[in-house]
Structure formats: structure tokens, C-alpha cells
Amino acid sequence: MASVGSGLNSPPIVEISTMNAITDKYLLPIMGDATFLPSPVVWGVRRKGTQLQSSAIPYSVISSADTSGGPYFGTQVLALGVFDNITPAQQEWRFYEQPVAIPETDILLNLAANPQGVKNLVKAKFMVASGSMLDMLSKALWGDQRYSSTLRIDDIVAWLGTDNNVIAGIDRSQTANAFWRRTPAWAMTGGINITDMTTAFWKVGRGFDIPDMILLFQDDYAKWEPQFTQNIRYTGNAQDLEALQVGFREHFKFKSCVVLNDPFINGTGTGFGVAGTGYIIHTKYIYPVFFKLQYFNIRPWMTPSQQFVMVSYIRLGWNVICVSPQRAGIQLTGL
């Protein structure tokens, strides 16, 4: 059987027993990634986030208008009214951790063979841990049901894709709390198309207060992009100087929205996300907040009781805040 890793193989080695006894391989200082997927949405919303230092995430919401004002003349005085029109909301910090565990004997054996080997081992383990944590956070944005709902963040699906749930301490099933409900989802007719997308855009946008992101699953993005490529224009003799660019090289914009594709939105059979959906969002109203005292902190190495294992952790406290669900975005269905 072929030897993979630090062993040798014949062919090409002829004296395989001798070579295995005296020869070391040079291990290339690279690590391939055949597991993790990038999440443009994590990148897009994280740059809009902020760090807070508080034991919870409390904020106030204007839940109704003060209607005591009106027209008058002369010395006329309107009857005064007292309106209780501010509602408290509160979200809790949700903590996520990714362990890095290395058996003590593995550390000692690497040290004995080559002091640099210990650094390579720790570096490789942290690379895997970092990728694993980013993958976990990418799924968390779409409601990763592998974990308890009492421990998960208030994700995009909970805010903009769910009716009648309790979120930020406010019960959206109550008629009195209609102000806290999402904008009803918009169903596409015959798949994703410009007309329906424009209508959905203006279900969220108001005047100059308009959304800034459209989030689509990769397959839906692939159906959406070609509807605009016929608008590509060339200036001068650019088409004669290089190969024609007949598609968008990177992402593109629809109105004020950057259009991003993400592999985690469509959650068929995975426990996160909702199949056939996308979102228009306004990051002025929905964005992540991070706990300042635990912002991707790396825990010093420790040894659990009665275990010869060195353990560290990458830790993050965060949640997704939404200060106005009806302005924060809209769920798209039927894509």
C-alpha cells in the first residue's frame, strides 16, 4: 500500500527498506483547504459591526407616534396627552468557542524530533481551528439548528424570515407589538426577476433611506447575474485589445445594493438557512455587535484535570441586533 505523509514509496524508491530507515521527507510548508467555504455575507455584515462593553444589549424602540400635536390658531391650546410610546428591548450576548487540543505526547515527540516541528504543529492546529470557527459563524447567521435556540444568536432568519416569535424580549405574536414584526416576505413569480426584485426593494426602501445588500444563494446568484450582462458596454477599442469580458468579474450592484452570493443561505438538509430564499437587507438597521471583552480572544494553554492534553480556545461574544425589523430588510421567496 502506498505510504502517504512522512513515509516513502516504491516506485520511485528502489531500496525502500534502507531509505525508510535513513531518509526524511521535506514537508512543504503549505496546507490545502478541501473543507471550508468562504462566506461573503460574514465579510459584508462584519465590517458594519461594532464592539460594545455591557453585560447585555439593551436599547429602546419607538413603538408609536405622539399624536397630541395638531393645527391651532390664536390662543387655542390643544388638549395634552401623555403617550407611553417607547418600548424597551434587550438581547443577550451569545458566546461561541472553538477549542484547540493537542496531546502532550504529540508535543513532546515533535519537540524531540525537531524544535521547529512544535511550532508547525501548533500553527497547523490553529489554522484548522480558525477555519472551523469561521465556518461555524457563517452558519450561525442563518440559524444553525444543530445548537440549542437558547444559546444561538438572533440570526437573520429569526429577524427577517420568521413570524410570531419572541425576539429581543418582545413577543411579535401580540397585536400591540405589530411594530416589531418583519416586513412580509415577497414571493417571486416564475423565479428571480428584475420586476419582483424592484418591488421588493421598495417594500424596504423609503426615499433616500434605502437598503444596501442583496444576499443570494450561489445558484440563485447565477440566475440573477445574466439578467444584467447585456448592459455591459465597451469604450474605444477595448474589445480589440483583450479578451471580451462578457460577465461581471466580481459582484455587482442592483440600485444601491451590493449583490453577494453565499453558500450558507440555502440550508437544504444542513440544519441552517432556508431553501429557495434570499434577502434584501439594510445594514443601518441590522448588523452584528461584538462583546468587547471577548472579541476573538485566544485563551492561554491549560491542562484539564487528569488529562495530558494542552487546550486553548478561540472565543467570541456576539449577537445580531435589529433596531427596526420592518426597515431592516425583506425575505425573498420562490427564487
CATH code of the domain covering residue 290: 3.90.1690
Distance, in Å, from the CA atom of 156 to the CA atom of 196, rounded to the nearest integer, reads 21
Mean pLDDT of 241-268: 79
Residue 292: inside a domain: yes
Enclosing H/E stretch for 201:
helix 194-204
Residue 202 pLDDT grade (very low, low, confident, very high; cuts 50, 70, 90): very high
Q: Measured at the alpha carbon of residue 304, what is the angle toward residues 299 and 306, in degrees to the nearest 5?
A: 165
How high is the pLDDT of residue 235? 66
Does residue 206 carry a pLDDT above 70?
yes
How high is the pLDDT of residue 73? 86
Higher pLDDT pick, 133 / 5: 133
pTM: 0.86
Name residue 105's amino acid: T
Q: Of 287, 89, 285, 277, which is closest to residue 206 (Cα–Cα)? A: 285
Does residue 1 carry a pLDDT above 60?
no
Does residue 209 carry a pLDDT above 90?
yes
Q: What is the DSSP letter of 149?
A: T
Residue 10: inside a domain: no
* Residue span of the structural domain in which 110 resides: 39-62+86-231+246-333
Does residue 8 carry a pLDDT above 80?
no
pLDDT tens by residue, 30-58: 888 888 888 888 888 877 778 889 999 99
| Total number of domains constituting the chain | 1
Residue 18 pLDDT grade (very low, low, confident, very high; cuts 50, 70, 90): confident
Residue 2 pLDDT grade (very low, low, confident, very high; cuts 50, 70, 90): low
CB 152 within 8 A of CB 140: yes
Q: Hey, what's the torsion of the CAs at 24, 30, 33, 36, to 10 degrees?
A: 130
Residue 233 CB contacts under 8 Å (≥ 6 apart), including other chains: none
Residue 72: inside a domain: no
pLDDT tens by residue, 131-184: 999 999 999 999 888 888 889 999 999 999 998 899 999 999 999 999 999 999
Residue 13: inside a domain: no
CB 160 within 8 A of CB 167: no
Residue 282: inside a domain: yes
Residue 318 pLDDT grade (very low, low, confident, very high; cuts 50, 70, 90): very high
How high is the pLDDT of residue 134? 92
Mean pLDDT of 124-130: 93
Residue 12: inside a domain: no
Residue 68: inside a domain: no
Q: What is the DSSP letter of 74?
A: T
Residue 186: inside a domain: yes
Q: What is the DSSP letter of 161?
A: S
Residue 61 pLDDT grade (very low, low, confident, very high; cuts 50, 70, 90): very high
Distance, in Å, from the CA atom of 332 to the CA atom of 191, rounded to the nearest integer, reads 10
